[in-house]
Structure 1
Amino acid sequence: MPLSLLRCLLLVLSAASGLAHAADTDPVADNMLLLQTPSGGWPKHYREKKVDYVRDYDAAERAALRAPDRHDDATIDNKATTSEIAYLAQAHARTGNPVYLQAARRGVDYLLRAQYPNGGWPQYYPDRSLYRHQITYNDDAMARVLQLLQDVAEGRDALAALTPEYGERARAAVARGIDCILATQVRIGGKPTIWAAQYDETTLQPAKARAYELPSLAVSESVGVVRLLMRQRQPSPALVRAVEDAVQWFDRHRLRDTAMRQVEAPGEETGKDVLIEAQAGASLWARFYDLHKQQPMFVNRQGEQVARFADMPNERRVGYAWYGTWPEKLLDQEVPRWRQSVAKPTSPR
């Protein structure tokens, strides 16, 4: 074979090998491997900033992340851990790289270990400092965990690669989680309402988190809980009642013909303000309601309840979602469809 032809052949083979290697890797997934904590979960922050899986990590950062004494700040807050497991499963499906699937397995193991015997999940594990050990529905943390484990149990999409090994354990964990949700639906005066954002993991009573997050009924989180419950196939009578009770509560506490609007306010601290005003056909809910009179609840940064939204400091009015429309789509569109599906017999997946 002529030398020039041999060189061309070697170049082609080298290029093909490089392409094959590139196809086996995913830079984002590789960074997820780097950021995965010793317990198998993932943090939400790196050096006090939101984790960035697109950036390059230098040699010193990589060494620190691989150090055996690295702080384990794994959490389910802010979509951490559940998002990485789902992404790594997809990366494995695309590339066939077994390392990504192994990391996803470690993530599922983490979730299964972190679950309390009563079915709840802490916001952080193994870190139990501050309020991190509390059962956490805040920002849909536990609902996302249950949804992911349900997808593993049912073999949905790329997570099906985890089903043979984890299907039964994931199914059992979901069942315990649903039992916890049903047990923590807050009753006031003997009547079921909705859910709090976090709970004491021993007493299952609503608990305080940050200074301005007092024990209360949490509307946004409860919408996520109800959506999760409606996702269950062949729901039990207790589950159906829990959904209907929550739906009735949402409807009773709907502020009808009321809307929220942000406006320019040069005289205010932030230069902006939030107004609650009449608007025909609109609906609005407060984010939190107190556990006694079930009235909208507002709290300043010092942890003190403020009677009226207008009396809150401007920075707090503008900087936090005290009002919103979270249940609107649920009530107007999703619940009617769910009721129809519940009325029809279904077979287990």
Structure 2
Amino acid sequence: MFIYHRILLCCFILIFFNTSHGQVHDPSWRRIINKQDKEWFASDEAQTIADNVLLYQRDIGGWPKNTQMQKLLSPEEKEKLKALKQSTDDVTTDNGATIQELLFLSKMYRATKNATYKEAWIKGLHYIFEAQYENGGWPQFYPLRKGYYSHITYNDNSMVNILKLLQQVKNKTDYYAVPVSDADVKRAEEAFNKGIECIVKTQYKQNGALTAWCAQHDVKTLAPAKARSYELPSLSGAESAEIVWLLMSIENPSEAVKNAIVHAVSWFKKVKIEGLKVERKFDETIQKRNTIVVEDDDATPVWARFMELDDNTPFFCDRDGIKKATLAEIGYERRNGYAWYTQNPQKVIDKFPEWKAKHYEKPSKKVKDAYNVTVAKDGSGDYTSIQEAIYASKAFPYQRVIINIKDGVYNEKVHVFSWNTHVSFLGESKENTIITFDDYFSKIDLGRNSTFLTSTVLIEGDYFLAKNLTIQNTAGPVGQAVALSVNANNCFFENCNLKGYQDTVYTAGEGFKQYFKNCFIEGSTDFIFGEATVLFDDCVINNKTNSYITAASTAKNETFGYVFKNCKLTADVGVNEVYLGRPWRKYAKTVFINCDMGNHILPVGWHNWKNKEAESTSFYAEYNNTGIGFKPNERVSWSHQLAKKQAKKYTINNILGNQFFENLNQHD
């Protein structure tokens, strides 16, 4: 018997040796894509595989998933793929599809400069643009398929992989070798930003506190959604980790993004599982390798793939969709065919202190003159962001704080607080010193007053002054989106561009006085609105759509509301039906004096906002205007054409007060 076993063992060794050395293990498609050998991508072997990749790409631009592109194709298989070119049935970004093929083609183009690879790559990029939902998310399959495939898909990092690609494109890195047009770079930036907005909006709130994300979210409600029978609405330890890792890579994150990261990391720390270890061991009972969970005090923390939405309890599911408390309770196939635990959140937790130090724990700066500082994007000034300079400014200073802003695009929300009085923003040039952001009503989504939280620049400190710069809200035609909000007294803006769509400039504060001189202000609906007394002098007022210029909400006892003197009213091409104003509140006051009105101004001039009472309580008037749009005889009967004597009272001192400039300059 002993000799028999010795012979059997020798035979087994010989067979194993021959088979292990004789057979050739084909490398996987993923391994081929991630080859570091640049020269290989110029080889005949690589180009043969690239031919396959081009064949598998559908006309719409994407690829099917789970395909070993490197496998040799017979003539018949190639013909079948050619016949499938127009099909869109299985085009997806799931399981790395499309993204990994684009990476391969990029490496091929870098090695060969073959224009065919470039064209295919650009087509794939356009497929990604096309597949994005308006709310910023991406489905698992596009064109859309019925069922869970249409959910916003974080599962298996589908959407994160897309955003990583777009991040490289928008940042113009050389990670992808294919040259991209400026238009596509802009589209990539817009798509990336919308995707990040979607991520922020879908972060799940548990008892009012932000936590993490589900593997998929409903495209309409944004709520956690079910996918396959064992993928129930839940909080995901695996996908959420990759989402946060992406958010932490953003160079200048918004407050919303930073808030999302902080809360997610807090949640990761809260729900980590200690004292358990996941192992794959040979099970004598079933004669197969089996996944088991064992107790181990020294085990590295793990996180469950699925956790309950209400209390973070881990759960496990078989294909019957019935929740189980432990992994051991589900069948062998699902227990071993799915990743139920992950360690990925640990890398986020480990990275978080460094990220927090960069974005929150700013080292104090020593400046030569605290009352005269410079902001420059390139680091040549005292600060690199405007808000950083404001944080460092003295409260209620005894002299004016001058913040010189060098040319550059400052993508940030700026808040001049009520204690930051006598602050000046002096831009290097109106055209190239740009403060920009893109918040809008439904993005803020904090109730009926969300408009007032959308502003790119919010001024609450009295005696504020700004010159030679642009303030804009680039959200576009998506509803209320304020560029400049001035809720302060004695504020002066000169030679500034103020750009947006709906609600561009909000002039707040009952009894407050504000002055805009030689400014360009553009928007669509009610793009100059509010209750302050404001003089617009020598300004260009440009309409982007057919709508209303002003929406004053002047207080009842105020003598003046909005006064436009020596202004030019213009409009974009095709705009031809614009009202001078309508009353946001019934005592609205708006007057145009010595203004040049384009032919886009409607003959009736004014609108009552469907409030008949406002016709007798509001005050809308004009004097000595010019241009095709000035048709005094056709104005609504309840508006006024001032007499010369009446117009004389509209002087700068009467409107703003004798002390306006004295108060503005008293600390200079």
Same fold (TM over 0.5): yes
2:119 pairs with 1:96:
no
Per-residue deviation, 1:71: 4.9
Correspondence for 2:285: 267
Matches within 5 A, 1:17-56: 26-44=47-65, 50-56=66-72
Per-residue deviation, 1:93: 1.8
Q: How many equivalent residue pairs?
A: 323
Partner deviation per Cα, 1:316-345 (whole Å, 9 max, x = no partner): 33332212212112212x222222332468
Whole-angstrom distance in 2 between the partners of 1:225 and 1:163: 28
Per-residue deviation, 1:54: 1.5
Whole-angstrom distance in 2 between the partners of 1:261 and 1:86: 33
Choose the corresponding residue for 1:63, options 46, 67, 79: 79
> Taking structure 1 as reference, are residues 100 and 165 closer, same or farther at Cα in structure 2, changes over 3 Å only?
farther
Per-residue deviation, 1:127: 3.9
Name the SS of the counterpart of 1:337 in structure 2: helix
Correspondence for 2:520: none
> Whose helix proportion is higher, 1 or 2?
1
Indicate if the aligned counterparts of 1:234 and 1:346 stay in contact, CA closer than 8 A: no
Whole-angstrom distance in 2 between the partners of 1:56 and 1:329: 39
Per-residue deviation, 1:159: 4.2
Name the SS of the counterpart of 2:221 in structure 1: coil
Higher relative contact order structure (alpha carbons within 8 Å, sequence separation ≥ 6): 1
Name the SS of the counterpart of 1:212 in structure 2: coil
> Taking structure 1 as reference, are residues 60 and 307 closer, same or farther at Cα in structure 2, changes over 3 Å only?
same
Matches within 5 A, 1:1-349: 26-44=47-65, 50-67=66-83, 70-157=87-174, 158-159=176-177, 161-268=179-286, 270-280=288-298, 282-332=300-350, 334-343=351-360
Q: What letter is aligned with 2:68?
A: D
Per-residue deviation, 1:258: 2.9
Indicate if the aligned counterparts of 2:109 and 2:177 stay in contact, CA closer than 8 A: no
Name the SS of the counterpart of 1:167 in structure 2: helix
Whole-angstrom distance in 1 between the partners of 2:91 and 2:297: 44
Name the SS of the counterpart of 2:275 in structure 1: strand
Per-residue deviation, 1:56: 2.0
> Taking structure 1 as reference, are residues 124 and 255 closer, same or farther at Cα in structure 2, changes over 3 Å only?
same
> Taking structure 1 as reference, are residues 114 and 310 closer, same or farther at Cα in structure 2, changes over 3 Å only?
same
Q: What letter is aligned with 1:119?
A: G
Structure with max Cα Rg:
2
- Identify unmatched segments of 5+ residues in structure 1: 1-20, 45-49
Partner deviation per Cα, 1:185-216 (whole Å, 9 max, x = no partner): 00111111100000111111111111100010
Per-residue deviation, 1:309: 2.8
Per-residue deviation, 1:222: 0.2
Indicate if the aligned counterparts of 1:194 and 1:246 stay in contact, CA closer than 8 A: yes
> Taking structure 1 as reference, are residues 22 and 295 closer, same or farther at Cα in structure 2, changes over 3 Å only?
closer
CA RMSD of aligned residues (A): 2.3
Whole-angstrom distance in 2 between the partners of 1:165 and 1:26: 30
- Identify unmatched segments of 5+ residues in structure 2: 1-41, 363-382, 386-408, 412-668
Whole-angstrom distance in 1 between the partners of 2:252 and 2:119: 32
Whole-angstrom distance in 1 between the partners of 2:107 and 2:289: 44
> Whose strand proportion is higher, 1 or 2?
2
Per-residue deviation, 1:164: 3.1
> Taking structure 1 as reference, are residues 277 and 167 closer, same or farther at Cα in structure 2, changes over 3 Å only?
same
Partner deviation per Cα, 1:50-76 (whole Å, 9 max, x = no partner): 312222222222222112554541100
Indicate if the aligned counterparts of 2:60 and 2:88 stay in contact, CA closer than 8 A: no
> Taking structure 1 as reference, are residues 95 and 89 closer, same or farther at Cα in structure 2, changes over 3 Å only?
same
Q: Single out whichever of 164-173 and 261-270 deviates more from structure 2.
A: 261-270
State the TM-score, normalizing by the size of structure 1: 0.86
Partner deviation per Cα, 1:107-132 (whole Å, 9 max, x = no partner): 00000000000000000001413311
Whole-angstrom distance in 2 between the partners of 1:195 and 1:346: 33
Per-residue deviation, 1:282: 2.4
Tell me the percent identity: 39
> Taking structure 1 as reference, are residues 300 and 269 closer, same or farther at Cα in structure 2, changes over 3 Å only?
farther
Q: What letter is aligned with 1:140?
A: N
Whole-angstrom distance in 1 between the partners of 2:114 and 2:291: 51
State the TM-score, normalizing by the size of structure 2: 0.46
Partner deviation per Cα, 1:79-138 (whole Å, 9 max, x = no partner): 111111122122112111111000000000000000000000000001413311111000
Per-residue deviation, 1:22: 6.9
Name the SS of the counterpart of 2:328 in structure 1: helix
